Every structure is written in C-alpha cells, then in structure tokens.
Amino acid sequence: MSKFVYLVPLFPLIGFLINGLGRKSLSKSMISVIGCGVMLASFVVSLLVFFDVKANGATTVELFSFIRSADFQIPFAFQVDQLSSLFLLIITGIGFLIHLYSAAYMHEEEEQHFGRYFAYLNLFVFSMLLLVLGANYVIMFIGWEGVGLCSYLLIGYWFKNDQYNYAAKKAFVMNRIGDLGFLLAVFWLLFKLGTVTYGDVFSRVSELSSFDITAITILLFVGAMGKSAQIPLYTWLPDAMAGPTPVSALIHAATMVTAGIYMIARSNILYTMAPVSQALVAIVGLATAIFAATIALKQNDIKKVLAYSTVSQLGYMFLGLGVGAYTGAVFHVMTHAFFKALLFLGAGSVIHAMHHEQDIRKMGGLKKHMPITHITFLLACLAIAGIPPFSGFFSKDEILMAAFSANPLYYYIGLVGALMTAFYMFRLYSLTFLGSFRGTHEQAHHLHESPSPMTIPLIVLAVLSVLGGFVGIPEVFASDAHSLENFLAPIFAESNKLAHAHHLTHSQEYIMMGVSTALIIGVIIFAVTKFKKAADVNDENTGVAKVLENKWYVDELYDNIIVKPLHLLSVFLKNILEKNIIDGVVNGVGKLVGYGSRQLRLLQSGQVGNYILVMVMVMVIFVLIWFNDITIMNFLKKLF
Amino acid sequence: MPIQYYIYLSLALFSIGIIGVLTRRNAIIVFMCIELMLNAVNLLLVAFSKMHHGTALATDAATTAGIDGQLFVFFIMVVAAAEVSVGLAIIVMMYRNIHSVDINFLNRLKN
Amino acid sequence: MIPVLLILLPLLTGIISFFIKEENAAKGWGLLSAVLTLTVAVAGIYFYPAAQLSFDSAWLPSLGSRFTMSMDGMSKMLVLLTAISFPLIFIATYKNQYRNAGSFYALMLLTQAGLMGVFVANDALLFYFFWELALIPVYFLCSLWGGEKRIAVTFKFFIYTFIGSLMMLAGILYMYFQTTDHSFAWQSFYSVQLAPEKQSWVFWLFFIAFAIKMPIFPFHTWQPDAYEQSPTATTMVLSGIMVKMGIFAVIKWLLPFFPAASAQFAQWIILLSVIGMLYASLIAIRQDDIKRLIAYSSIAHIGLMSATLFTGSRVGLEGVMIQMFNHGINVIGLWIVADAIEQQLGTRKFSELGGLAQKAPSLAILLLVMAFANIALPLTNAFIGEFLMFNGLFHYNIWITAVAGISIILAAVYTLNMVQKVFYGNTTTLTSNATDISGNIRIALVILVVLVIALGVYPQPMIDLTKDTVGATMAGK
C-alpha cells in the first residue's frame, strides 16, 4: 500500500483544483462534498498506509527527479515511515473533521468565497502532507513554504478587512524569516554532504564537523521558530486568529505550527549530536512556554487565549525535543492536536452561537444553551490542564519527566507553566460557560447549540482527547505499554543509542505526578471559584496585569526597533540616496554637459563675417606655424 | 616672366578677396570676393603648372608632368560656375524674403 | 539556417509593418509574425538537426568579420524566451490603443530581430551590431509612445546605454587588434587570452556596458524611470528580455575572455550586487507605484543573478541560466497585471487602488500566483532558480548568502504590500466600478501561470537545455 502513498496528497490537490476552478459554478453543497470527500479519501489511504508501515516497516517512494544538477540530485520522493505515517493520520483525520465542521460553520459565505475557502483548505492539507511526506529537506521545504502560503491566504480570507490583511502579511513575513534559516541549513547540508535526502544525511552525519552540525541544527531551529511560533518569532500566531475559526483549529493549532516539531523530530540524530543546539531548543521552548502562558492569563478574546496557549504548548514540545524526549514531543503533538483542535472548534461553536462575538467578558452561562459544546470543551480543558487520565496528562508528563532528568530547573519552570495553563484554561472555561450571561439581549435570544456537522467533530475529538493518551502509558504504570514509543522506535533508535538517559526511579515519578496533579487540581478549583461569578472582569488592569494584557508590549517593541527603522531606511534610500545622490550624480553629469554647451553656444553669433574672420585667422596661424618648418622656409627663401 | 610676378598678383587678388569678404556686408559683393579668391588660386595653379611643365620638358619631351595643375583649374571653374548659379539663386531668394542682401541681417542660426 | 531565419523573420515582417496603416491589421500582422517566429524557434531547437542551428557566411571580409551564428544551450533558452514572450506581449496588449500602430509593431519586431541576433551572434562585430539594433527601436518606442515624461527619461536611458555600448565597442576594438588573425570571431577573441595585468581595464570596459544593461547598482537609475514611462509592451521587452542581454553577455563575452580579471574583481562585483539587492528591495518597500515597485524588484532579482555569476560555482551558474528564463516569464506576468490595472483605472498608485479582488477575482488570483512566483515560493519556477543560485553563492561565502538572503524576506514584504494595497481591503471610489480582465489578458496570464507552475514542478528540461553552456563556461570556454 505504501507505494500508493502519493494518493494521500493527490486527493486534496484534486479537491483544490476542482473547488478552485469551479468555485463560481459549483453549489455550496457540491463544494463541501468535494472538499470533505477528498479528505476522507485521503484519510482512508493514510490509514492503509499507516497499517502497512506498522506491518512492513518504512519505505521510500520516488516519484520523479525534481532537480538534477551537476553537483547534486534532489528527487521528488516520499518517505513513508512511522513518523510520517503518524502525522498523515493526524493531518488527514483532524483535517477531515475540520473540513466537515467548516461546511456548517462557513455556510453564510457566498458560493464563490465558500469555494475559495475550501480550495485554500485543501491546498493547505496538500502542502502539509508534502511537508511530512517529503524524503528530503527540499521537499519538506516545499511543504513548509506551501503551508505558509495557505496560512497567509486563510488568515486574510476575509480580505475586505485591512486588519486581517496585515495579520496575514505579518504571519507570512515572520515565517519567511524562519524560512531563511531553514534554507541556509539546506545549503549548508548540500555544501558539505551534497545531499539533502534524510537517509543519506543521517547515515553520513559523522562526516560533518561538530561546528557544522551545530550551525545546521541552529539554522533549522530558526526555521522552526518561525513556523512553530517560538520566541522571538511568535507574535504572528495570535494575530493569525483573524482567520476563520476552523482555520485556526486546523492550521494554527493542530497541524502547521507543529511542523517545526516534526522537522526536529525528523532530524533528531543531528540534534542529538549537537548538544549546544539541543540546549538552545530546550531553553527557547521553555521560555516560550512560560512567556506565552503569562500573556494568556490576561487575554479576553477567546481565540487569543487559545492562541497563546498554543504557543505555550508548542514551547513544551520544543522543551521535550531539547531534552531528547522525541517520542514525548511527538506524543504531545498528537494529543495537543486533539484537544486544541477541539478547543478551537468549541470556541468556534460558541462564536457561531454568539454571532461573531469573541470577547469572553460578554459571554457566560452558555452551559445550559450549548450542552455538547460545553461538555466537550470541558473535557478538552481537563486534557490540556493535564489531569489524569486525559490525554494531555500523559504527554505533558512524559516531557516534564524527561526535562527533570535533563535538568531539574527545567522541570520546575515547566511545572509553573503547567499551573498557569490550568489557570487560564479554566478562567476561559468559567467565564464562557459558567455564571450568568453577560451579552446583549439579542445574542441571548439567539443562543443555540450548533448543528450536527459541527457537533460531530466535537464529539469525535473529545473522545480522542480523553482516550488519546492511552497509546503512551508510561512505564511506571505498566511495562512496555507505551505503544507509541514502540512504534516510533526505529525513527529515534540512533538518537536513543547516543543519548545516555538516566531514568528516574518509579517512586520519584509517582511523587512528581502526584504533586503536580494535586497542584493543578488546586489551581483549577481556585480559577473556577474566582471566575464563576466573573465580578471583576471589566475592571481596568494595572501594573503587571496591564503589561500582561498588552502582551508584554512585544509587538510595540518590534514595531519600534524593526518595522519603523526599516521604513525610515526605505524612505531615506528612496527619497534621499536614490533620488539625490545616485541619480543626482547621473543628472549632474548631464547638467554639466548642458551648462558647458550653453556657454560654448555664445561663440556662435550667427554673423557670417565673424565665422570667416575666425577661419582666416586660424589659417594665418597655421601658416605662421608652418613658417617655422625649415623645409618650407628654405623653399620660400628660394622662391623670393 | 618670373614666377614671382604671378605669385604677387594672386596674393594681391586673394587678399583683396579676403578683405572684401570680411568687411563688406552686401551678399553680392561678398560673393564676388569669393570668386576673386577662387580666381587667385586658379592663377597660381596655372602659373606653377606652366613652370613645372617647362622644367620637365627640358629633360623629357613627351612628359605630362605638371599639367594636372591646369586640370584642377578646370574643375574649379566648373565648381565656381555651379556655385554662382546656386549662390545667386540663394541671394535672390534671400532678397525676396527679407528685402535685403545684408548678410549681418541673417543671424538667426545663433539660437 | 535557423538563426538567420529567426532574425530575418521579425526583421522583414517588421519592415513591412511600417507600411500598414490600419491599426487592427498591424496588430494581427505583429501577432502573426511573433507566432511564426515562435514556431520556427521551437521547431528549430527541438526538431531540427543541430547542424541547422549554426550559420556562417562572409560579411565584411576586409575587417575580418564574418556573419557567424551558432546556438548553444544558453542561446537556445534565450531565443525561446524571446520567441515565447513576444506573442504573449502582443496578446496581452492587444486592446491597447496606439497612434500609428503599424510603426509601433514594426519597431517592436525590429527589437525582436535585434534580440535574436544578440543571442545567436558568434562574431563580436555582429554582436555589437545586433546589440545596437535591439537598442535603437526601443529608443523610438519609448520616446514616441511613452508617458508624459518620456523625452527626458528616454534621453537618459539612451545616453546611459549608449555610453555602455561605446565602452563595449572600444573593448571590442582593443580585443580585435590583439587577435593574431585580425578577426572579430568569438574563437579569435577567446584565443587572445591577455596577460592578467592587461585584462583589468578591458574587463571593465565590457563589464560596465553589461552592468548598465542588467542593470547593477549603482548603474540602475535609468531603469525605474524607463520602465515607468515606456509603453507597457516595450517595458515587458525591456525587463523581460533585454536585461538578460547583459547577463548573457557576461557569460558569453566576458567570463571566457578575462578569467583572471573576473576572479580578481569578483568580490567587488558580488559585493556591489548584494548591496544592490538589499538597496532595491528596501526601496521597493515604500513604493507607491506598481510599475516602479516591479522595476525595483527586478533590480533586486538581477542583483542575485549577477552576484552568482561571479562566484564561479557550477550550481550557481545553472541557477542563473534557468532564472534568466524564469525571471523573464514572471516579470512579464507582473507587467501584464500592472498594465491591465492601468489601462482600466488610469492609475498605478496604491493609494488610489484597493479592493480589486472583489471586482476582478480572476485578475487577483492570477496576480497572486505571479506575486508568489516573484518571491520564489516553492513549486513556482523562480524557486528553482533562486535555490540553485543561493546554493552557488553559499559555496562562495556563507555570510554573503545570509545577507543576500535577507532580500527574500524583503521580497515577501514588498510583494505582499502590493497585493494587499491593490487587491485587498475595501474598494475606493476609483475601483468600485472596476471590471474583471478581458479575454486576451486572461489568455496571456493563464499561459504564463501554467508555465510558472510547470517549470516550478518539473524544471529538469530547462536545466538540461543549458547544461552544455554551463559545462563550457566552467571549463573556461
């Protein structure tokens, strides 16, 4: 089955083409059937591929030779192995659910835009599949930029709103900064090894000097910073919430932003051999996790809270990668995809019911109006907070345990972040679903549970969020029950051999789990009781709270140290250097010639007599000069 | 007759021509002075041609050396004739247009 | 025989076109000629035996100049580019109104003849002849059909390029007197191989001529003005094909003759080019005029090509080759969009535009593809070229690559700026009555978009086409 893997990205591509070209002629129901149908087909093929890999192991499928240069060759090939097949399932599975959800969520759109939406969404899935399927860094880069493109298109989907367009542009440009790092790493690999195919790179990694590996891994990580919204390139992700909510769920929570984690997990052997880069990944991840969590504490836009939560959770994944817990990171990608997609879709359901109101201060008491959304949202909150036995608990726990064995400080900071996660999620939950309704009468009148195409994905994702963790039961509970680790073992085998993991004792693990769970439950109870009444939500924030509400003023900082100077420089170059200096020199030469010619023109008086006089005088002068010539003198003497 | 006399005469004619061209403003007189200069040159050419041919004949009775000077004179005469016809035509046109044959009046080229 | 046909066809049809009085007849005639040339080019390159691709006959025997032509991979590619571009340009501008259309098309076709000649000539004097033949019609096109500031701008353009041409002529003559057999043939020039210390000033004579044509910072100031003021069809020729003459000439008429000087001055030229890339990109960020933005963006792209040329890397050279083609295609696409907007709305200012995506969705989508090709998104043709070129640059120096790489970020900034300000947002009073593009523009753009994607997904035919030139250049021939 693996050799038919090209069908997986092919279906969304076909969907993109049909919906994109036929967006004016197809009806909405046709468009949704095509959009969702191709995803379902893709998911089915992915399942078959997944089980094939599980049974028969990894293969590479080469489609054609993409670039065949004199110095190197880059095939257009797909790597079908444990890691990519797992991601295939996540992408196509969640992708399908979100397509289904979109069909209902976006039903108010005009046909033409509805088609455009599904075309973009299908194109995104296609790109994302290329990203994870590529058998070399260049194919990965194609997907890498492709998802950036679709993210741009979908953030700016409502293109009449200039605010959204700015957000889209910001996302694309920040991603490009990261992409430059990625590209440089690719060039470095090509320069040193002459190949970018994973298999060749990883087997010949010993040919690289440690400086090379460190540089390559850091550059790749710069790429990951952009795509996965890590400090300092994270500010685009919260702004990206301008896109339709299902898009936020699919692209900016479940799939695209985890591309950086996928890439590092894929290159795990490089990172394992570059301790400096690993430490950098861990520290940046941890810093982002904490930093984003603090901002999330004070946000009032339901999607912004979730966005910062995503940034924070991505930070955890990078922490996992940085401490060598590759399986843990991938595991968290998976569980995060379930519960964060669920949270976003739940939020979408709420926004839908609230007629596009996103401010949680104006919600409250939605529990009784939207039972399914409420229950599923609560389950997702529990999962992300890390309450056993929900899925988030297992994956986050695995990362934190690994962090503890690498450096206890990582663990303590990570734990603080986890507590903050629990706090802001339940603040969000309480303000939205508990207490009494704070919106307008009209909104209150229209509150309703969403239609079934929206609730079915919620239910499916809720089940996954609850049960998803059981594929990775830690050893402390049952030996050899971590089926995900076993499945992924071939991918991380080399790294695990090199890394000298010192495992914690079982009693240590029990204590840590117990303490953290107790603390989290405490925080949840505190948050729920504090915000159930929602008494002070409208108060003006002061001090630290104000700084947090304003996101540490990072956007303003970037604006002042990068954007504005760049614009000033541009204006300076355009108006001063280009216009006056460079063109000034060119025009100056022209003017000089013009001036000289105007002066010389005065000699031309127009009087024929003057001209002849000058002519005669010049002739006389010539004759006088000749007179000095001896032979002429002699000739003349002889004559006269 | 010594060659010097011819030279003196043509020098005189040529100088009269130049001075006439430089000082007179009437186009017809300027034109006549130009003719004068041309004829001064013609005279000189003929004189030198005769002198050379004479000396060459002393050694070789069949020589043609020196006669090309006289050929030139014919050319100049032909050119002068053409020049007169064109030039006079120009002057006539000039008179028709500005009712004057004063060359200083025609200085519009200076701009 | 093919090269001669490629020159004669546009030359003769062009001369005939001078006598066509009726506007539509002139347009049809021009298009017919361009399509015929394209047919000959494609047939000649892909279906005829290679022997047909060269031609040799006596021309000016007393000077030692022969009418010699040949086509290597690079010539083939650029001939193809020229042959493909002209029909597309004619189609896209079919509805534009011209005074005296017969002469307009005649001059366009003469330009095409000159361009074809430049790309196939194998004799320095012939090369110079065609170089000028391509330039002079453009001068008339700009000065007779251009915008309101056309006289000053065209004059600047002409003086600029003419100074370059004269320097090249001086260089050619110097080289001619150095040849042992007093011949202008490429081979004779190549076998001169001046002593390294003598190469430098001749090198600069040639290089400045080509640098002005490309153009490289700081010789570029004629370009935005000329692009802005020329009739769009001419601008497309100028930026799509004519700037490639500079790069082509560096590869064919500079690098092989002066290897020592090229190596000696490489670092300065690369530095200049990279500065030019960033400089042009930065200026483009604050542009308010579509045409000027495209012009500066083009300078930035050419900067990368010229920098890569002098790195002496094989991969880089491969990249430059295909990028010459790709850049031509992409920039013509962008001009078509700019022209479509200007023809319809009478302005190119961002501040007066906006919201066009609501009114002209097809144009918006086609532009979007072109815009993303302009910023070298993967699976568009420009990615392949830039990828290979940056690779070559990386072989030369990592830091230069990193600095040059900033331009790909800036490219995203200014290109998306344009997309946003012209197509997104709300409609203005001007754009609220806009309509979508007409059929002819749609056809041209769709063809270009198909080319962009096809060459982005499967670039191998282009890489293979120019393989022999790359090999020869790398071997120092």
| pLDDT 10s digits, B30-42 | 889 989 999 999 9
φ, ψ (nearest 5 deg) of residue A60: -120, 135
pLDDT of C86: 93
Interface test with C, best of A25, A187, A222 (most C CBs within 10 A): A187
User: How many CA atoms, within 13 angstroms, populate the side-chain half-sphere of residue A381?
Assistant: 28
Residue C36 confidence (pLDDT) above 90: yes
pLDDT of A480: 74
Q: Give the model confidence (pLDDT) of C159-189 as tens digits.
A: 888 888 999 999 999 998 888 888 888 888 8
Nearest residue in chain A measured CA to CA from C401: A184
B110 touches chain A (CB under 8 A): yes
**Chains B and C are in contact, defined as 3 or more C-beta pairs closer than 8 angstroms:** no
SS3 B81: helix
Residue A529 burial (CB < 10 Å; 0-12/13-18/19+)? exposed
Binary contact (A612, B109; C-beta < 8 A): no
Is the complex ipTM more than 0.90? yes
Give CA–CA dist A240/A304, Å, rounded: 9
**Residue with the two structure tokens 């962090």:** A403
pLDDT of A142: 92
Scan residues 559-588 of A and list those with Cβ closer than 8 Å to C. Answer: 566-567, 569-571, 573-574, 577-578, 582-583, 586-587
Residue C421 confidence (pLDDT) above 90: no
A-contacting chains (≥3 CB pairs under 8 Å): B, C
Mean pLDDT by 10 residues, chain A (640 residues): 84 90 84 90 92 87 87 89 90 91 85 87 92 91 91 87 87 90 92 88 87 92 90 87 88 87 91 90 92 87 90 92 88 91 90 83 82 89 87 88 87 90 89 82 80 88 88 77 82 79 76 88 87 66 75 82 85 82 82 86 74 84 76 70
Residue C361 confidence (pLDDT) above 60: yes
Confirm if A275 and A213 have CB atoms less than 8 A apart.
no
pLDDT of A501: 62
pLDDT of C108: 93
How far away is chain B from the Cα of A584, in angstroms, using its nearest Cα?
Answer: 28
How far away is chain C from the Cα of A571, in angstroms, using its nearest Cα?
Answer: 6
Residue C198 confidence (pLDDT) above 80: yes
pLDDT of C332: 92
Give CA–CA dist A216/C133, Å, rounded: 50
Question: Average pLDDT for residues C12-22, to the nearest whole number?
Answer: 91
Which amino acid is located at A109 in the chain? E
Question: Average pLDDT for residues C105-118, to the nearest whole number?
Answer: 93
Confirm if A126 and A5 have CB atoms less than 8 A apart.
no
Give CA–CA dist A367/A358, Å, rounded: 16
Handedness of CA A591, A593, A594, A598 (dihedral sign): positive
Binary contact (C425, A70; C-beta < 8 A): no
Question: Average pLDDT for residues C206-225, to the nearest whole number?
Answer: 87
φ, ψ (nearest 5 deg) of residue A539: -65, 150
Chain A residues touching residue B4 (CB < 8 angstroms): 639-640
Pick from A147, A170, A153: nearest CA to A238: A170
Scan residues 581-620 of A and list those with Cβ closer than 8 Å to B. Answer: 601, 604-609, 612-613, 616
pLDDT of A128: 92
Question: Average pLDDT for residues B9-14, to the nearest whole number?
Answer: 92
B-contacting chains (≥3 CB pairs under 8 Å): A
Binary contact (C463, A188; C-beta < 8 A): no
Chain C residues touching residue A583 (CB < 8 angstroms): 221
Question: Average pLDDT for residues C220-228, to the nearest whole number?
Answer: 86
User: How many CA atoms, within 13 angstroms, populate the side-chain half-sphere of residue A366?
Assistant: 34
A475 touches chain C (CB under 8 A): no
pLDDT of C84: 93
Q: Give the model confidence (pLDDT) of B31-82 as tens digits.
A: 899 899 999 999 999 999 988 888 888 888 888 888 888 889 999 999 999 9
Binary contact (A159, C425; C-beta < 8 A): yes
Chain B residues touching residue A605 (CB < 8 angstroms): 107, 110
Write the residue in B18, B21, B109 that is nearest to A606 by C-beta. Answer: B109
How far away is chain A from the Cα of B107, in angstroms, using its nearest Cα?
Answer: 4
Nearest residue in chain A measured CA to CA from B48: A639
Binary contact (A606, B3; C-beta < 8 A): no
Give CA–CA dist A221/A229, Å, rounded: 11
Confirm if C420 and C72 have CB atoms less than 8 A apart.
no
Most confidently modeled range among A450-454, B96-100, C303-307: C303-307
- Taking each helix axis as running N to C, give the angle between helix C101-120 and helix C23-46, from 0 to 180 degrees, rounded to the nearest 10: 20
More reliable by pLDDT, A609 or C258: C258
Give CA–CA dist C474/C71, Å, rounded: 18
C403 touches chain A (CB under 8 A): no
pLDDT of B111: 52
Write the residue in C358, C391, C423 that is nearest to A187 by C-beta. Answer: C391
Scan residues 31-70 of B and list those with Cβ closer than 8 Å to A. Answer: none
